Amino acid sequence: MNIVEMNNVSKSFGRVQALDQVTLRVKKGEIFGFIGPNGAGKSTAIRVLLGIIRASSGTASIFEKDVWKEAVAVHHQTAYVPGDVHLWPNLSGGEVIDFMLRLNGGGNKQKKEELIERFQLDPKKKCRTYSKGNRQKVALVAAFASDASLFILDEPTSGLDPLMERTFQECVFEAKREGKTILLSSHILSEVEKLCDRLAIIRNGSIIETGSLQELRHLTRVEMRIGLHGEAPDFHALSAVAHAEKVDDLWLVQVEADQVNQVVDALHGRDVYLLESAPPTLEDLFMRYYEKEEQP
């Protein structure tokens, strides 16, 4: 079952095409990553899903409800955390959390207290005294303590230190184990790589790739570390090799992900004492894709 669906959604602001025929599916119970450079359209797509702005064309639904016409019903089952949280300055953090939970049906009081402790938040302080990181904590506690079935998280760890980022990641995995669905937009690619079951890459308002990390690894290269006694093969002559250089006593060879066997075959019969390869990270994939796109 798809919890989130966007079908050929376009959005224009005057002459600016912010979204162009975006089609997206987020399945029930999965953690779905949404990545792209600044200005690619991530936040615009999320604002459409939240019913904050109306699509110029196409359809968008959450829980099979139209996000524009049935926004109130959608919001009752959805928790949203933006990357820049603004709070009522004269209320305490605890008062804001309680208010936000009441809007969503009350939430889980015991879980709220546990989350306040885990995120090391002082709920008695006025919001005007909070740092950016503490404002994020208020929103995260309110979200994860709610009864929401869908979490839409747009740069949710902005302002958090590494320890709190880890706490956030634990909360995401716990929500998944409870059968909840998470849509995560983040520029921290290592975080998306660690958390997400599937992901979509958006560029210039269009979805250019969707799939699991394993499925998307065909876009980039594997780096091989090769140690040899004696003469090395001519790596540069191999069509699969994008780059090869010798650093100290090792060859560092970048190979197209689906053609590693070409290098292995070239090493046949040679005195190889080290052969290592690592799958490309999401950052490798992301950067390689954009390098390729920018080539004339």
Tell me the pLDDT of the chain averaged across its residues.
91
Region of residue 134 (left: phi > 0; alpha: psi -120 to 50; beta: else): alpha
Structure tokens, 95: 């008062």
Alpha-carbon span 159 to 133, nearest angstrom: 4
| pTM over cut 0.75 | yes
Locate the domains of the chain by residue range: 2-215, 221-279
For residue 294, pLDDT over 60 is answered with no
With pLDDT > 90 as the criterion, what percentage of the chain qualifies?
A: 75
The highest-level CATH class for domain 2-215 is alpha beta
Percent helix, percent strand, percent coil in the chain, to nearest 5: 35, 30, 30
For residue 193, pLDDT over 80 is answered with yes
Q: In this structure, are residues 33 and 195 in contact, taking their beta carbons and an 8 Å threshold?
A: yes
**Position 253 confidence tier, pLDDT thresholds 50, 70, 90:** very high
The highest-level CATH class for domain 221-279 is alpha beta
For residue 175, pLDDT over 90 is answered with yes
Give CA angle at 153 (147, 159), nearest 5°: 115
Same fold, 2-215 and 221-279: no
Instruction: For residue range 63-91, list pLDDT tens digits in order.
Output: 999 999 999 999 999 999 999 999 999 99
